[in-house]
Amino acid sequence: MTRLVGDLNPPTRLLCGTGPTNPDPRVLRALAAPLLGQFDPAFTAIMHEVATLGREVFQTSNPRTFAVSGTGRAGMEAAIASLVEPGDRVLVANCGRFGDLFVDLAGRYGGRVAQVTAEWGRVIDPGAIADALKREPAKIVAVVHGETSTGMLQPLDEIGRICRAHHALLVVDAVVTLGGVAVRVDDWGIDLCSAGTQKCLGCPSGMAPITYNDRVERAIAARRTPVVSNYLDLSQLQRYWSPERLNHHTLPTSMTYALREALRLVAEEGPPARFQRHRRAGAALKAGLTAMGLALFGDPERRLPMITAVHIPAGVDDEAVRAQLLEEFGVEIATAFGPLRGRIWRIGLMGYNAELRAALAVLTGMEHVLRSRGVDVPLGAGVEAARHAYHEGIDSPAGA
């Protein structure tokens, strides 16, 4: 066995797919810190700090702010599993794969699911949500803030007001947006917001920051039936994270260290500077791709700064290009799902990689890989346009 499995020696990659991104070296160092027992006062102090820093990044005063011990998907499932009872009406704003996931989760937990949909590449009109709620009220409205599958940013403030007016709970997936654009949980009237660690927070995957207000807490407490999941039962997890320290699972110690360091980096940089960094890096990449002659995908007014979706040139093999980019340049970009598979690439500049250097590396690699495959891409134009956009301080339109 020893001979078969050698030393761990991962190759160096610039991770510009949809996550994980490369973490700040400080986050990697935090992972290697010595462990503590889960009820050690030194560790519960760290949990307290994670909650405090979490409230800052979610822009909330919710006491119930902690992290679910699983990936972003686990956070979304914890929300739905804890809130949805059989027969509850759940309205999903669906314009991509993560809207589909909300539909799947709500159905699994017995919800009566209705959808307001938009074409992939567009966002949901808040008026359509209001109309749907007028036709039939819902207990929960589930919305994806940043739809990673299409690269679109869904404005939330108006949806928050609509949900409040219709006495629906607004549940938001902020997996790709938290730490990269503003997520104003309290100001926008988001009742529950769930995220992930491996995107704009710049941490490995494995935990899901979550926050919810007393409306959600009361709704969970008022359930007629018990929550099916034990591991993802928010009513138990909130007691574990509270001073009560209910014994539940054993919190992933090293990942908690990493999340603390990642959140501390957000606080040190300051959210406005961090959001601007993501906007500028995204704008530089978009300018460069356009100058290379590639066409950006989706509604130009709603593009995410941290995920750029771009059409694959006609006749070009999605997988072969990505493999060559990885092998020759050490650069990872992402494929797409469902109807967009083979039609677009998705390029992430998130967290530690939301920098000009990463945009330029992607553009350089793509230029040469595409040229080597016969696509007519001008030499150097992508990098030049990206540098120009960056230094002119041009921001992506979305994500203010």
Is 182 near a copy of itself (CB under 8 A)? no
Is 37 near a copy of itself (CB under 8 A)? yes
Is 204 near a copy of itself (CB under 8 A)? yes
Residues 41-80 that bind a copy of itself (CB under 8 A): 42-43, 46, 49, 52-53, 56, 69-74, 77
Q: Is the dihedral of CA 285, 147, 178, 129 positive or negative?
A: positive
Q: For the CB of residue 307, give the shortest distance to a copy of itself in the complex, in Å.
A: 14
Q: For the CB of residue 162, give the shortest distance to a copy of itself in the complex, in Å.
A: 27
Q: Using the rule CB under 8 A, which residue among 128, 165, 246, 267 binds a copy of itself? A: 267
Size of interface with a copy of itself, in residues (CB under 8 A): 80
Is 29 near a copy of itself (CB under 8 A)? yes
Is 326 near a copy of itself (CB under 8 A)? yes
Q: For the CB of residue 128, give the shortest distance to a copy of itself in the complex, in Å.
A: 26
Q: Using the rule CB under 8 A, which residue among 161, 215, 223, 264 binds a copy of itself? A: 264
Q: Using the rule CB under 8 A, which residue among 147, 217, 261, 367 binds a copy of itself? A: 261
Residues 330-369 that bind a copy of itself (CB under 8 A): 332, 334, 337
Task: Convert residues 107-146 into a mask of x (bound to a copy of itself by CB under 8 A) and - (unbound).
Answer: -xx-------------------------------------
Structure token pair of residue 294:
């590639």
Residues 215-254 that bind a copy of itself (CB under 8 A): 226-232, 247-254
Q: Output 121 or 196, the one with its CB closest to a copy of itself.
A: 196
Q: For the CB of residue 41, give the shortest distance to a copy of itself in the complex, in Å.
A: 8
Is 10 near a copy of itself (CB under 8 A)? yes
Binding part of the chain for a copy of itself, among 123-131, 139-147, 197-205, 391-399 by CB under 8 A, reads 197-205
